[in-house]
Structure 1
Amino acid sequence: MDQFTTPQIGLALRRLRKKHNLTQKDLANGICSQAEISKIESGTHSPTVDLLYALSRKLQVPITIFLNQNEHVDSIRLTDDRLLILFQNQQYDLIYREAKEKIKQLNFDQELISLYSYYLHITAYRMNKIDYRTCIVELQLLADKYATLYYSPKMLLRLKSAIATLYYEKRHYVHGLRTYEELINLNFESDDLLVEKIRILYNASKVLIELNKPAEALKYINDGIQSCLQFKDMSLLGQLYYQKAYALELINADDSEIRDSYKKAYLLFDILNMNEYKQILLRKKTNLLDWLR
């Protein structure tokens, strides 16, 4: 019987087993011996195709998650990047048709199916094929399924963020805030996900501003600013300082602190060539340029 020798199989098997809170004995039950699981995880034994398939079924993951992981991850990332560009260009119909076709064709790659399902639902909503409530329900079902099947939180963040955005757009701020708070309380292990947390903190602060809770918003804003500085990521730093200045105005903070935040926001917009934001800020604060002199 053919065998797989990739050393990453053992590491992936151990991570998935622990994610499901299974002991080696639990995982082996009805499939193989505990000793065999131990050898696979330690990298001293290569599983057969049949054994790996049985283990993937018990762990509720596609067998491809153990194979050519780097190539698989790269493939998913490239697909996601391409679909994201199409979405940003509002080519919803193109995405929708591709997603429907791919979901029919893909039999075992549940991770890629999840990605296409996400794009299918959000483009269906943007094209008025489904209403926002249906879209939220579908995204939540997908999130629940994804949380069960996979140990990576990246798609879960994407799905929950989309749900929160829909709530925000429909002015259901309490539901949106609850969703953002769920995300904030997740464990962000990698630097990539920690940067994503900055966006979540910023969006959560916007919801709190809408709920007339500027003091609570400032906590998230300051956390976001600190994370930006820690990880040297300026992509949202200007917006966070702008939001901070506005929140400070709402609580009647000291004028010097408000001016300082507006000035930092403007300078960051200028450095990053974010001219649209600069113009918005100048229209809001006509004397801003005097402050900068």
Structure 2
Amino acid sequence: MEESVQTFGQTLKTLRKQRKLTQKMLAEGICAQSLISRVENDEELPNALVLQQICQRLEVTMDQLMLSQVEEITELNRKFDEIHTHFIQTNYEKVYTLIHDENFINQLQLEVDLQRYYYYLGSCQYYAKNQNQFAIESLKRGILYTYGQNKSNISTIEIQMISCLGRVYGESGQLEEALKCTRYCYNCLKEMPNERKTFELVKVAYNYADILFQLKELDLALEAIEEGFLLGQQFSSYYYLKELFLLKGLILQKKEKMLEASEYFELAEMIKKIENG
């Protein structure tokens, strides 16, 4: 039996649903919702400008959409999901191995995909390989793919990359640059609507608080930590909770509040035990 081939409209509908977008969400700012409906029903084709904007929102190339390459797109997303799972678990050595797979690299075509690749690469170079200069170069390269291209909103991945860059600057002794990057990202986080926030942004609050701690701005650091706690609670997430507890303990220790500090050190140890199973 021959394998069935999806039409252009069917491909668009499949990708839209994979991205968890309604027709209204996909159409917003691009075209009428009714046009998306007609396209998905193979009753009409969008013009080149509308098609380009739809592709950007779906994070696919025009060739992939026009050639109905759903399986190729799905496979790449599956690989990115696997990489991200290990990344969240701070298994950076595994991430480093996965992103160096030649087949995976050859599938990277979109700027957003290349940006994610360099975010993971730069993070691994910093956390796993202690290659700070290489990490700075990779993160800068990734940021430049999309950042500053007259966009109305900075994306969450851009915020995470700039924040990570600030962290590496701090580790390299460049505290002025570190503060500039992490403070900018923290302010973006504070101004971001709740519906756009993700649990990964807790790390942004932590990075800023850590630089403030190094600069002995203890009260400001505590404020950033509290913001991280609130964001973690919003998503019922343990992500970077251990690090926040530990940093708050160190700050309280500096403020000579030893009893409170010990409580946060104990909480950090509890989270560590939970993570280790």
Q: Same fold (TM over 0.5)?
A: yes
Alpha-carbon distance in 1 for matches of 2:158, 2:23: 21
What runs of 5+ residues in structure 1 fail to find an aligned partner? 25-36, 277-293
Instruction: Spell out, residue by residue over 1:110-153, the C-alpha distance to the aligned partner (whole angstroms, 9 max, x if none).
Output: 443333344455667859696455334313313517995x9893
Classify 1:236/1:81 alpha carbon distance in 2 versus 1 (closer, same or farther; 3 Å). Answer: closer
Percent identity for Structure 1 against Structure 2? 13
Partner of 1:169: 171
> How do 1:247-258 and structure 2 match up within 5 A?
247-251=251-255, 255=257, 258=258
Partner of 2:9: 4
2:237 to 229, 233, 240: 233
Partner of 1:220: 224
TM-score in terms of structure 1 length: 0.62
Alpha-carbon distance in 2 for matches of 1:7, 1:264: 47
Partner of 2:138: 135
Partner of 1:283: none
Partner of 1:265: 265
Partner of 2:40: 46
TM-score in terms of structure 2 length: 0.65
Conserved 8 A contact 2:16-2:22:
yes
Alpha-carbon distance in 1 for matches of 2:219, 2:112: 40
1:155 to 157, 176, 182: 157
Conserved 8 A contact 2:30-2:50:
no
Partner of 1:34: none
Conserved 8 A contact 1:238-1:264:
no
1:77 to 81, 84, 100: 81
Partner of 1:289: none
What runs of 5+ residues in structure 2 fail to find an aligned partner? 1-6
Classify 1:231/1:263 alpha carbon distance in 2 versus 1 (closer, same or farther; 3 Å). Answer: same
SS in structure 1 of the partner of residue 273 of structure 2: coil
Conserved 8 A contact 2:88-2:239:
no
Classify 1:273/1:175 alpha carbon distance in 2 versus 1 (closer, same or farther; 3 Å). Answer: same
Return 233-242 or 150-159, whichever deviates more: 150-159
Alpha-carbon distance in 2 for matches of 1:13, 1:108: 25
Alpha-carbon distance in 1 for matches of 2:132, 2:270: 40
Give me the CA root mean square deviation: 4.6
Conserved 8 A contact 1:164-1:179:
yes
Matched positions, count: 251
Alpha-carbon distance in 2 for matches of 1:237, 1:120: 24
> How do 1:76-95 and structure 2 match up within 5 A?
76-81=80-85, 88-89=92-93, 92=96, 94=97
- CA-CA distance at 1:206 after TM superposition: 0.9
* Higher CA-based Rg: 1
